[in-house]
Amino acid sequence: MSIIPRFTKSLERITSFFPRLVYFYSLYYKDIVEKEVELGQLTEEDKVLCIGGGPFPCTALEIAYQTGAKVCVVDCDPVAVSCAQRVIDKLNMSERVRVFISRGEDIDPSKYSVIHMALQVFPKDKILKNILKRCSSETRVLVRSPKEHLKSLYFKEFEITDNQYQNQSIDQDNCTMNATLLFRKIKE
């Protein structure tokens, strides 16, 4: 695991014991998620899958708060999932946010209208290939990408080499993120 994802995971694991700190996390995530909600045109009607929720699933919680949508969070780390469930329960958000153990490269995205990939997910290229291959043309896929000078501190980045996907992005004014990318299959 690379340095920034390892640090983030450790910090979130500790923070998960203090769910009331969600307010401070939301100061960081609120504007980021607001831009992503606008880019992906998320609404209360969407079924959202967040891949890589970690121990403190702030993005998923913020999406639920901002849109009213039901959000499913997956993470491959059982400890992270346990911590995330504790946070969700303490915040009384279990009706709108659910969390499961799963690997992003194995997940079936077909029942979701929006897929969100965290900055720290690994292996991002395999997960994105799985999602784009198996999702419908209506699905919106949001992917966070790191700033150029931080790429080496994350995992190998991904590349989309064919023209099957429409791609848009929105800049993120953030210390670690460069942008959030939006992928959609081009209808044939």
The predicted-structure confidence for 14-55, as pLDDT tens digits, reads as follows 666 666 666 776 778 899 999 999 999 999 999 999 999 988
Return the pLDDT at 167. 76
Query: How far apart, in whole angstroms, are the C-alpha atoms of residue 113 and residue 9?
Result: 27
CB 97 within 8 A of CB 64: yes
Taking only the tens place, the pLDDT of each residue in 142-160 is: 998 876 655 555 555 555 5
| Digit-coded pLDDT (tens) for 91-120 | 999 999 999 999 999 999 999 999 999 988
Q: Which H or E run contains 117?
A: strand 114-117
Asked if the model's pLDDT at residue 164 lies above 70, the reply is: no
Q: pTM for the complete prediction?
A: 0.84
How buried is 128 (Cβ within 10 angstroms: 0-12 exposed, 13-18 middle, 19+ buried)? buried
- What are the phi and psi torsion angles at 50 (to 5°)? -105, 120
Amino acid letter, 81 = V
Is the predicted pLDDT of residue 72 greater than 80, yes or no? yes
Q: Which of the two residues, 135 and 10, has the higher pLDDT score?
A: 135
**Residue 117 vs residues 16, 17, 19, 21, 128: alpha-carbon distances, Å:** 20, 24, 22, 23, 8
| CATH number corresponding to 3-185 | 3.40.50.150
Q: Which two tokens stand for residue 91?
A: 């915040």
Q: What distances in angstroms separate CA 49 from CA 70, 99, 110, 115, 137, one per listed residue? A: 9, 10, 10, 5, 16
Name the residue among 136, 98, 146 with its Cα closest to residue 114.
136
Q: Where are the domains of the chain?
A: 3-185
Tell me the Cα Rg of the chain. 15
**Exposure on the CB side of residue 16, measured as CA atoms within 13 A:** 23
